[in-house]
Chains A and B, each alone.
Chain A
């Protein structure tokens, strides 16, 4: 090897490489750099610096050219991402446009992507509920997928670890099925959310309405001040990026924290082609990237690699990491890589009105709303479908004005907005059952702009999901009717999987290398210096918004990885 090559290799060598800078990659970077490891974070998109790169964050509605709406041409050119509720004029620049990274839909799947430093942690919905053993024990109890190799007690301290740092607002509700965490003060429910909470508590022993836990600093602690993050200012335009750092994102929190250590190298525009497997050493020695702009190939080297590219891209990278030892993708001896992909069933919604408690309204804005933890099939099987659903719950006063006619009367009506009935809404967050027939794979002929195979997605609903939707409609309608809500309307959006933006699995954790890819430490069974701690690692889906669990799994895996390195085992 000549001198120049040696120098290049030295320059490109780190203790650890993290692929992806989203919600889990950011945590890997923070934990690794804090523990003293020289860490390279590879991000396929551009850099987005906290505050500096939030161009719309200070805009009032009238500052926005189309008042939030996107041009017709943009929507026409982006039929997939346009379905996402947050793809609007104020945040469209944080979403990947359809043409930028195509994929093959063997079955309809709306894949929503955010390629930039921070990934989707910039635009996420910031809901953070802990899992319980009712979730971890689901597969073994209800006979699907494989048993999780961990239980709640394994993750609980790591939930605490990430919650304290991220800043989680919530109420200690004392529910076994949704364990309490390290909470900052909770936000209030609205008057009718509170009324419904009490109504449900009086009428159903096993059902609860709580205020959803959210990643917002409701009261700043020293650890948040240290990050330069202030209290949430209740603006509710979080998807633009928050100049106060009021909600948790990689950009406001973990990435700058990792940078402070002096151990972080951030490499944007780095599209990962594959992990490099060394046959002799029997481990991965580095990562091959293609520069997003120049298309130039570069190799980076490290002792360990954390793959946090987002669930589907993590599958894509591992499937594309082929070697003599692993001809079907890294760690894929059992042929299960890419299989058992699952998601959350978000198809069902219900809306109603309430004409009581009209002496009350709300003042200011809440960054969260009500939440109903899973109550179906928790302690006993009680329905004709497996598992169950959590539900969102919100109730706010409508504002009404008569828009009939034109002229002075119309104007007066427009200027005298009145408070109408409470509008009550709920949406289902259903657990889906991971199946071998729900999978992703590489397209054999089609390639992207960087010469990497396109991912094919073949994921669909099943009978269990349909039965669950019916039950949600029945149960919620009954609960709404009993509470005196009127004009109840159920709606099945029929949306494709993917739009929930909770895709999970494909590189699942398990105890047995024959039936899973990762062990209890998120380590590839057959290639121990590679860790997967994003959505791809999920054995089952639970009903909870998953990001908090990815964060906790990541911090836990990093702790283990560094201990193993220090023992000389990696």
Chain B
């Protein structure tokens, strides 16, 4: 994937935006999630696939299984200013435009490897003056936060306890569930 091509794609995004998603015809309306008051059903579906690409299902649940896209939608709706929200919403179309440009299909119709490629490339695009966020980098940060603070991850992969009932100030790392970095 050529970065230049992508930048060119995004450059025309302001005029090239279609109002009806090009991939609509491949989905039944019944399969679409409902509008959640912030994101449309299509955007929610696309966000699901984006978080699934960022933190995929392996032998453990990925971000999609943990419903992280719902968390992202809520966080962006409630915890960010209007400028960030507006850019976030246009990000969905930009992802699709990039996907169309490179692979000839919208984001949810391309393969996992292709999705990974599209997001990786878009994450590296520098923010231009006046722009608030890089959509992919922004979504990734909230996806990581949502994933890490999910019940599944906290209970199964960290030492989180609501009620520790103890404190040891000099605890051997050898007895900890963690190991030293490097």
Interface residues of A (CB under 8 A from B): 58, 60-62, 65-67, 69-73, 187-191, 193-194, 233-235, 358-366, 399-400, 403, 405-408, 410-411, 414-415, 417-420
Contact = CB atoms under 8 A, between A and B. Distances in A.
Given A358-B180, A363-B166, A419 B173 contact: yes
A217 B169 CA distance: 18
A187 B168 CA distance: 9
Contacts of B176: 361, 363, 419
Contact of A72 (B81, B116, B169): B81
A407 B114 CA distance: 12
A401 to B, nearest CB: 9
B149 A406 contact: no
Interface stretch (B22-30, B40-48, B71-79): B71-79
B154 interface: yes
Interface stretch (B11-19, B86-94, B98-106, B156-164): B156-164
A62 B74 contact: no
B134 interface: no
A72 B181 CA distance: 35
A304 B89 CA distance: 63
B169 A188 contact: yes
A69 B53 contact: no
A405 B120 CA distance: 7
A62 B154 contact: yes
Contacts of B151: 60, 62
Interface stretch (B2-10, B125-133, B140-148): B140-148
A71 B148 CA distance: 20
B167 A364 contact: yes
Interface residues of B, number: 54
A155 to B, nearest CB: 31
Nearest to A211: B169
9 contacts: A58-B162, A61-B160, A188-B168, A190-B170, A194-B170, A234-B166, A362-B168, A362-B170, A415-B153
A405 B161 CA distance: 29
Contacts, number: 141
A194 B53 CA distance: 45
Contacts of B95: none
Contacts of A62: 149-151, 154
A193 B169 contact: yes
A62 B147 CA distance: 10
Interface of B: 53-56, 58, 60, 62, 71, 74-75, 78-81, 116, 119-120, 123, 140, 144-151, 153-154, 157-176, 178-182
Contact of B178 (A67, A187, A361): A361
A91 to B, nearest CB: 16
Contact of A407 (B54, B145, B166, B179): B54
Given A364-B164, A408-B58, A191 B169 contact: yes
Given A235-B162, A364-B168, A419 B179 contact: yes
B74 A414 contact: no
Q: Which 9 A-B pairs have the closest CB atoms?
A: A188-B169, A418-B181, A363-B171, A364-B164, A364-B166, A364-B167, A191-B170, A363-B168, A71-B78
A429 B15 CA distance: 57
Contacts of B169: 187-191, 193-194, 362, 366
A279 B157 CA distance: 71
A145 B5 CA distance: 72
A362 B58 CA distance: 31
A62 B149 CA distance: 6
Nearest to B150: A62
A406 B54 contact: yes
Contacts of A366: 167, 169
A191 B123 CA distance: 40
A73 B54 CA distance: 29
B165 A233 contact: yes
Contacts of B78: 65-66, 71-73
Contacts of B145: 67
Contact of B173 (A70, A361, A399, A414): A361
B164 A234 contact: yes
Contacts of B165: 233-234, 364
Nearest to A412: B58
Contacts of A73: 78
Contact of B171 (A360, A400, A403, A406): A360
B154 A359 contact: no
A418 B160 CA distance: 14
Contact of B144 (A60, A69, A361, A403): A403
A106 B115 CA distance: 57
B79 A69 contact: yes
Contacts of A414: 55, 144, 147-148, 153
Contacts of A406: 53-55, 116, 119-120, 123, 140
A188 B167 contact: yes
Nearest to A407: B116
Given A67-B145, A235-B164, A360 B172 contact: yes
A58 B163 CA distance: 10
A365 B164 contact: yes
B91 to A, nearest CB: 15
B26 to A, nearest CB: 24
B116 to A, nearest CB: 5
Nearest to B176: A361
Nearest to A395: B169
